Amino acid sequence: MTSLTRDPLLWILLVVLIAAVVAVMRARRTNMALRRTKKDLEAGLGEARGDVGELHAHIATLTTQHQHALADVRADAEAGTKAVLKSAMGTLQSLAEEQQVLLDSLLKKYGDTTEILADLMTVDHTGSQFGRRAKGISVLCGGWLGRRESVATVYDVARSAQGRIRDFSRVSVHSQVNVSLVGKAVEPVAVVLAELLDNATNYSAPGTPVEVNIQAVPTGVVFIVDDAGLGMDQETKDRAAALLSVDGPVDITGLGDPPRFGFAVCGMLAARYGFAVSVGSVSPYGGVRAVIRVPESLLAADVPAPAADAQDTTAPEAAPQRLAPVPVVGPTHVVGTTSGGLPKRRRRSGPVTVVPALDETAGQEGTPEPASEVTASRLGAFARGTQLGRTTNTTEGPDTK
Amino acid sequence: MTNPGEEAAVTSDFVRSYVITGGRTLPDSDDLALHTLVILAPDRTPPLGAGPEVMAIWKLCAGGYLSVAEVAGHLGLPVGVARLLLTDLFEQGHLLRRAEPPRAQNVDRATLEKVLNGLQSLIG
């Protein structure tokens, strides 16, 4: 036994055993502490996760609110800008119109002075382009074009549109139909056609022709614009199609810098007045073909009067006073010869052809004409008679009588 | 300015005169003077593709002599523009024109006085 107690191995074993027990005890304690900490931490984590979720939801709400507010502010700003622009453009539109009316009278006033007339026409051309721009911006801002009282033939609509672009002499108009547009459609279609012609001339080589063909279709009339340019790439086509099919207000700030109003104006006017515009097909010359289709509802019902009559619709036109093509002094009137060798003529029974008939109704009512008027009319007849007598044989021309 | 939604009437000429001339140079005013008389040549048919203005001239000048100024007035066009259209028709042989009457010969004062006296005794 003693030997056993004396065995160092036993003591070493004992010490190791005690150390092990102590170590196990300590490990258990640490383990317990760690478990507790872990539990605490897990609880904290859950709480934190919940908070994060809440925060995310909050952020989402705030973002939506912010976006709404931003959209509202943008819309407000856009509406404000449009209101200001619309009013400013309205003023410019009236000024441009005033200038054109003034030029109309100036062109007639100086009509016989070739140099001045040519210069005035140049001014008129610039003014027309200016007016078109002002009208375009005004339309995009919700403004109006101005209303024409009278109908206009499709040919005149095309020519009016032609006059509103820079390179108008490259455009040729061919009309196979003789119909008119109703007054309210005249300006919108002319403005849209002018925008399409502007595009066609700008995106094709200088000097190449641009054609407008007007044809009747079962549903109305189409204006076909063909150019000989390079055509449009897919992106431009998509953009054009989007702008042309717009049915709400146009975001004017999104039109680029410099802004490209053309298609937006076309889409807006087409939607407002009920006609259709499309671009994107290929013209026979390889360029772009743009088409405006005007429905029957915008065509004037009656057969249009010829242009000359249409221009004078305000007052019934007095019949032109013409000099008769045949000399009014015929041989039948000669009844003899004077001693001086001059033909003797009988007094004419009716009024001289060149004298306009005097107020016939007044004559029938038997109102005596004032002596001075009678004298004046007789003298006038005398003067015209002598002039006629002197000039009957001076006809010149390729086919002289 | 107009009220919202209300359209102002537009009264300027719809087709501008430089489009009617096609941007061409205007003929000299001595070419067809204001008082030159024109008439449609007999047995002519209007040129193909004639615009409304040319057709209007055609109708106006078919009935008898009209002066250049009158044609312009009836068309509502500046004289220079009407002159260009008339010059075209003239060059194509569609129009005849009659020059202004020759100036009257000088008559001596005594004759004029006799005429005046005669007229006065006639009209009194």
User: What percent of chain A stands above pLDDT 90?
Assistant: 52
Tens-place pLDDT, residues B1-17: 444 445 778 888 899 99
Tens-place pLDDT, residues A72-82: 998 898 889 88
> A169 to chain B: which residues are within 8 Å by CB?
22-23
Residue B114, min C-alpha distance to chain A (Å): 16
- Average pLDDT (A282-303) is 89
Whether residue A178 lies within 8 A of chain B, CB to CB, comes out as no
Domain A150-305 in CATH 3.30.565.10: yes
Residue B6, min C-alpha distance to chain A (Å): 8
Query: Given B1, B18, B34, which is nearest A163 (Cβ)?
Result: B18
Residue A216, min C-alpha distance to chain B (Å): 18
Residue A398, min C-alpha distance to chain B (Å): 6
Res B1: pLDDT: 43
CB contact under 8 A, B80 and A307: no
Residue A310, min C-alpha distance to chain B (Å): 10
Give residue B79's domain range.
Answer: 22-123
Whether residue A396 lies within 8 A of chain B, CB to CB, comes out as yes
Interface of A with B in 319-348 (CB under 8 A): 320-325
Residue B3, min C-alpha distance to chain A (Å): 10
The reply to whether B47 falls in a domain is yes
Higher-scoring residue by pLDDT: B100, A308:
B100
- Average pLDDT (A357-370) is 46
Tens-place pLDDT, residues A133-182: 999 999 988 888 888 888 999 999 999 999 999 999 999 999 989 899 99
Res A319: pLDDT: 61
Above 60 in pLDDT, residue A392? no
Tens-place pLDDT, residues A364-391: 444 455 566 666 666 666 666 666 655 5
The reply to whether B16 falls in a domain is no
Task: Pick from A84, A214, A323, A392 the residue to mutate for testing the B interface (most B CBs within 10 Å).
Answer: A323
The reply to whether B14 falls in a domain is no
CB contact under 8 A, A121 and B21: yes
> A122 to chain B: which residues are within 8 Å by CB?
18
- Average pLDDT (A190-204) is 94
Whether residue A306 lies within 8 A of chain B, CB to CB, comes out as yes
> A399 to chain B: which residues are within 8 Å by CB?
41-42, 93, 96
CB contact under 8 A, B72 and A90: no
Q: What is the CATH number of the domain that holds B108?
A: 1.10.10.10
Task: Pick from B1, B7, B14, B26 the residue to mutate for testing the A interface (most A CBs within 10 Å).
Answer: B14
CB contact under 8 A, B66 and A320: yes
Residue-range domain boundaries for chain A: 39-144, 150-305
> pTM for this structure?
0.68
Res A343: pLDDT: 55
The reply to whether B15 falls in a domain is no
Tens-place pLDDT, residues B68-116: 999 999 999 999 999 999 999 999 999 998 876 667 777 789 989 999 9
Residue A159: closest C-alpha in chain B? B15
- Average pLDDT (A107-113) is 91
Q: How confident is the model at residue A335 (pLDDT cuts 50, 70, 90)?
A: low
Task: Pick from B1, B3, B19, B38 the residue to mutate for testing the A interface (most A CBs within 10 Å).
Answer: B19
Query: Given B25, B65, B78, which is nearest A325 (Cβ)?
Result: B65
Res A237: pLDDT: 86
Q: How confident is the model at residue A318 (pLDDT cuts 50, 70, 90)?
A: low
The reply to whether B90 falls in a domain is yes
CB contact under 8 A, B21 and A308: no
Query: Given B7, B65, B75, which is nearest A147 (Cβ)?
Result: B7
> A103 to chain B: which residues are within 8 Å by CB?
12
Average pLDDT, chain A: 81
Above 80 in pLDDT, residue A108? yes
Q: Which of A221-235, A341-355, B33-47 has the lowest mean pLDDT?
A: A341-355
Whether residue A20 lies within 8 A of chain B, CB to CB, comes out as no
Q: How confident is the model at residue A67 (pLDDT cuts 50, 70, 90)?
A: very high
Res A394: pLDDT: 44
Res A302: pLDDT: 65
Tens-place pLDDT, residues B40-55: 988 888 888 888 999 9
Predicted interface score ipTM higher than 0.85: no
Higher-scoring residue by pLDDT: B124, A16:
A16
Please report how many Cα atoms fall inside a 13 Å half-sphere around the Cα of residue A256, on the Cβ side: 8
Quote the number of domains for chain B. Answer: 1
